[in-house]
Amino acid sequence: MKKLLTLTLALLTLAACTQERTKPLDIIPMPLSTQLQSSNFEFDKESKLAIEATEATVNNLTSYLATTSLSLKADNNAQDNRLALKIREKVDGISSPEGYVMTTDAKGVNIEATSEAGLFYGVQTVLQFVDNEGGVPYGRIVDEPRFAYRGMMLDVSRHFFDKDFVLKQIDALARYKMNRLHLHLTDAAGWRIEIKKYPRLTQLGAWRDHPVWKVWWNSGRKYAEEGTPEAHGGYYTQDDIREIVAYAAERQITIIPEIEMPAHSEEALTAYPEISCTHEPYKQADFCVGNEKTFEFLENVLSEIIELFPSEYIHIGGDEAGKASWKSCPLCQKRMKEEGLKDVNELQSYLIHRIEKFVNSKGRQIIGWDEILDGGLAPNATVMSWRGTEGGLKAASMGHKAIMSPGTHCYLDQYQDAPHTLPEAIGGYLPLKKVYSYNPIPDTLNCEQAKLIYGVQGNLWAEYIPTPEHMEMMIYPRILAIAEVGWSAVEVKNFDCFRNRALTAVDYLKNKGYNPFDLANETGNRPEADAPVNHLAIGKKVTYARPYFKGYAAGGDTTLVDGHRGAWNNNDGVWQGFIKGGVDVTIDLGESKAVKSIGADFMQICNPEIFMPAEVIVSISEDNENFEELTHINHEIVRDDALTFKNFAWKGKAKGRYIRYVARPGQYGGWLFTDEIVVE
């Protein structure tokens, strides 16, 4: 009887162990393939760590695990109750060096990979299971990333964030299998890295006369000498950088430095005005490309940067160059003549090509924002596409690698919820769902071009982010969506599932001392955008007396009568933008109809020069020639820091076939944005 009972218990235990898991996974990013059971292996105080790898990998992984919730005793002879990590020449089911296969049973967890990175990412999956569930489910996981490059950019120039802050973010990025941290180290607001050969870059260029960027930007933009009472800012010493780079490397993250050129360089040109076109401090934002001293300076700076950062890429910026002074600078004009350059775009391209040649001579590659395409792309350059996706697609079509980082989906400086519920941001509306929806490879690319999409990156510019707490709120949880976009196969992605996992991640991050956005209490989209609106003008012909701006065309000629209302963001593909004269459209209802209301919403965000109209005129006509004015609204525009919406409408009784809606800008000029002309 006792033997029968023992056999029965064993069979019941086996049945429980082999029961298929039904509980949703709580892992970010979602693994490629899982075959899991309902039972878990749980580590305890006697659990061991066994590693089959090189001595360096053993040391790195042992050291890292000692900092986590899974600090285990090393014992390579342990056969059960263990975490076994093994480097293999080949692992069935994976093709990426960052991939891994994990199998779990009653003896413990076994992870195999072809590299240290693969083992590390397998460990992250184990850690998330342990932290979220207490144990690791029996079964098998086969996992590898969709893209080789999965990054985040931190702007540490506009507001300086110290070494400890950067190290803290590296820990979180590593947990979610991100592998690049791009540091925007130089810009007008502050030079943030010690350069031994040019001490004035940090003695003067790293300090300014006000701590908050917005106030500094609007009140003279003066720098301050280090150590003086008015000096606000900071920089990383070269020892700080070495520590950051080493800490990141142990967590499989490469630090990519960005040294801006030729623009966004006011701080450098004030510290060393002789390399600007006018040789005067506080006068220039662009390096003088005609001056050989400029290249001497840039090459010396980059030599120190390359010595500090072992990354494959050195980011050289390349965006938003004004180039105005180059047209009148004798040295720049001389350079253009000698090199046969037809315009200032080609002069910028000359600089990019020359810098690339220097960087290549040091065994590295350059990467730059998509403006480096202007005037001709350097032979080996990689393009980081931020002005939409066009730059990346063009680079791929030319045979160059591209990293996709469009502002529409990857600029984390935008509001992630209703603006009135959050601290001031640069504007826009980029909720978690929209970040998660991004697919870096559009259908327009062929197979060979698609292979050149190297990865994806989330960017966090810090003009309106003065504190570490605010910075973390803007990062998390949206960077987790970028992590899953970069790692997970499209087939395994599901937003509702991801949001639930993100809620768990937010709780984890809070417990670890981070300050993520309170996703559980998200307000959500602008109510008007939640559902289509039906009205008399839906689908009717719209004639534009003044064209909309092609860059903000939304749905084109049908936008204002398609029944869709805009969200909090002017670039959401629903709001239509007008500049230089405003809105002047006529809607043909197709036949004479009685109307009682005609109105349209406008938004105002003053920082990007988007304003309410100062004047709105609504008219109606039977013949499209003789119009009766229904209302003439004058509006006083008040410049402020808020994101606001206002409906400009006529209400009453009228009849006609043609409706003309005119909205004119006021004293500030700028943009007008409207989403729908609702006729009832």
The pair of three-digit structure tokens given for residue 481, joined into one six-digit string: 């969506």
- Based on the residue annotation, tell me whether 353 is a catalytic residue of this protein: no
In whole angstroms, give the CA distance from residue 27 to residue 132. Answer: 9
- Quote the CA–CA distance of 540 and 588 in Å, as a whole number: 6
Give the pLDDT score at 18.
Answer: 63
User: Treating both helix axes as pointing N-terminal to C-terminal, what angle do 468-475 and 478-487 enclose, rounded to 10 degrees?
Assistant: 40
* Total domain count, the chain: 3
Residue 198 shares a structural domain with residue 214: yes
Which pLDDT does position 15 carry in this prediction?
A: 45
Q: What is the pLDDT of residue 3?
A: 45
Tokens standing for residue 46: 């006697």
137: amino acid identity, one letter: P
Least confident of 13-27, 261-275, 374-388, 665-679: 13-27
Q: Name the helix (H) or strand (E) containing 16.
A: helix 2-18
Helix or strand or coil: residue 14? Answer: helix
Amino acid type, 59: N
**Amino acid at site 486:** G
Asked if 333 and 478 sit in the same domain, the reply is yes
Is 11 within the bounds of a domain?
Answer: no
- In this structure, the answer to whether residues 307 and 407 fall within a common structural domain is yes
Q: Are 163 and 244 in contact (CB under 8 A)?
A: yes
Distance, CA of 535 to CA of 589 (rounded, Å)? 11
Q: In the prediction, which pLDDT does 444 show? A: 82
Q: Evaluate if residue 213 carries a pLDDT over 60.
A: yes
Q: Tell which of 521, 555, 583 closes a domain.
A: 521
- Phi/psi for 138 (5° steps) reads -60, 145
Question: What CATH number is associated with residue 572?
Answer: 2.60.120.260
Q: Which residue bears the tokens 């292979």?
A: 451
Residue 131 CB coordination number (10 Å): 18
On the question of pLDDT at 8 being above 60, the answer is no
d(CA 620, CA 89): 76
Both structure tokens of 222: 């003066």
In this structure, are 606 and 464 located in the same domain?
no
- The tokens for 330 are 């004798």
**Which of the listed residues 489, 521, 553 is the one where a domain comes to its end?**
521
Query: Do residue 502 and residue 536 come from a single domain?
Result: no
User: What integer is the mean pLDDT of 64-69?
Assistant: 94
In a domain, 604, yes or no: yes
Any domain includes 45: yes
**Beta bridge partner(s), residue 267:** none
Q: Within a domain: residue 268?
A: yes
Sequence-distant (6+) residues with CB within 8 A of 640 are 604, 606
Is 297 a domain residue?
Answer: yes
Same-domain status, 130 and 265 = no
- From 182, 184, 210, 264, active-site residue: 264
pLDDT greater than 90 at residue 17: no
| CB-count exposure of residue 113 (10 Å: 0-12, 13-18, 19+) | buried
β-partners of residue 223 are: 208
Same structural domain for residues 600 and 514?
Answer: no
CB atoms within 10 A of CB 654: 17
pLDDT of residue 5: 44
pLDDT digits (tens, 9 = 90+) for 573-588: 899 999 989 999 999 9
Task: Find out whether the peptide bond into 262 is cis, omega within 30 degrees of 0.
Answer: yes
Range of the domain at 455: 149-521
Does position 451 have pLDDT exceeding 80, yes or no? yes
Query: 6 in a domain, yes or no?
Result: no
- CA 514-404-577 angle, 5° bins: 95
User: Could you report the per-residue pLDDT of 94-131, keeping only the tens digit for each?
Assistant: 999 999 999 999 999 999 999 999 999 999 999 999 99
Rounded Cα distance between 178 and 29, Å, is 10
Is 85 inside a domain boundary?
A: yes
Confidence of residue 571 (pLDDT cuts 50, 70, 90): confident
pLDDT band at 4 (very low <50, low <70, confident <90, very high): very low
The DSSP-derived string for 300-318 is HHHHHHHHH---SEEEEE-
Whether 9 shows a pLDDT value over 50: the answer reads no
Q: Distance (Å, rounded) from C-alpha 45 to C-alpha 272?
A: 59
156 and 59 in one domain? Answer: no
The phi and psi torsions of 56 (rounded to 5 degrees) equal -65, -45
Mean pLDDT of the chain: 94
Q: Considering 131, 143, 187, 266, which one is annotated as catalytic?
A: 187
Nearest residue to 498 (alpha-carbon basis) of 486, 510, 484, 512: 484
Any idea which of 228-237, 365-374, 626-635, 664-673 has the lowest mean pLDDT? 365-374
Residues 549 and 453 in one domain: no
Whether 135 and 171 share a structural domain: no
- pLDDT tens per residue, range 379-427: 888 999 998 888 888 888 889 999 999 999 999 999 999 988 999 998 8
Which of the following is catalytic: 26, 320, 346, 615?
320
pTM: 0.90
Residues 158 and 146: their CA atoms lie apart, in Å, by: 32
Quote the tokens at residue 551. Answer: 């860059």
Note whether 259 and 302 are within 8 A (CB): yes
* β-sheet bridge partners, residue 655: 594
Whether 251 maps to a domain, the answer reads yes
Q: Cα torsion for 40, 42, 47, 53, to the nearest 10°?
A: 50
| Whether 243 is catalytic | no
b/e 341-373 (16+ beta carbons within 10 angstroms → b): beebbbbbbbbbbebbebbeeeebbbbbbbbbb
Q: What is the CATH number of the domain that holds 239?
A: 3.20.20.80
Whether 443 and 533 map to the same domain: the answer is no
Name the DSSP letter for residue 440. Answer: S
The residue type of 586 is T
Q: Are 506 and 519 in contact (CB under 8 A)?
A: yes
- What is the distance in angstroms between the CA of the first residue and the CA of the last residue of the chain? 84
In three-state form (DSSP H/G/I as H, E/B as E, the rest C), the secondary structure along 445-496 is CCHHHHCCEEEEEEEECCCCCCCHHHHHHHHCCHHHHHHHHHHCCHHHCCHH
User: What phi and psi, each to the nearest 5 degrees, are found at residue 201?
Assistant: -60, -35
Gap between the Cα atoms of 28 and 432, Å rounded: 14
H or E stretch at 64: helix 55-65
Q: Is 383 exposed, middle or buried (0-12, 13-18, 19+ CB in 10 A)?
A: buried
Q: Measuring CA to CA, how many Å separate 393 from each of 382, 408, 448? A: 12, 15, 12
pLDDT of amino acid 275: 97
Averaged pLDDT, 480-505: 97
Write down the pLDDT at residue 376. Answer: 82
Q: For residues 275 and 40, what is the distance between their CA atoms, to the nearest angstrom?
A: 64
Residue that terminates a domain, selected from 521, 541, 574:
521
Report the pLDDT value the prediction gives residue 377, as an integer from 0 to 100. 80
- pLDDT (0 to 100) of residue 11: 40
pLDDT in tens, 159-187: 999 999 999 999 999 999 999 999 999 99
Residue 447, burial from CB neighbour count under 10 angstroms (0-12, 13-18, 19+): exposed
Burial code of 500-524, b = ≥16 C-beta within 10 A, e = fewer? ebbebbbebbeeeebbbbebeebee
Q: What is the Cβ-side half-sphere exposure of residue 333, based on CA atoms within 13 angstroms? A: 6
Helix (H) or strand (E) holding 132: helix 116-133
What is the pLDDT at residue 642?
85
Tens of pLDDT, residues 326-382: 999 999 999 999 999 999 999 999 999 999 999 999 999 999 998 888 888 878 889
Is 26 one of the catalytic residues? no
- Is residue 78 located within the same domain as residue 212? no
92 CB-side CA count, 13 A? 2
Measured distance CA(423)–CA(464) in Å, rounded: 9
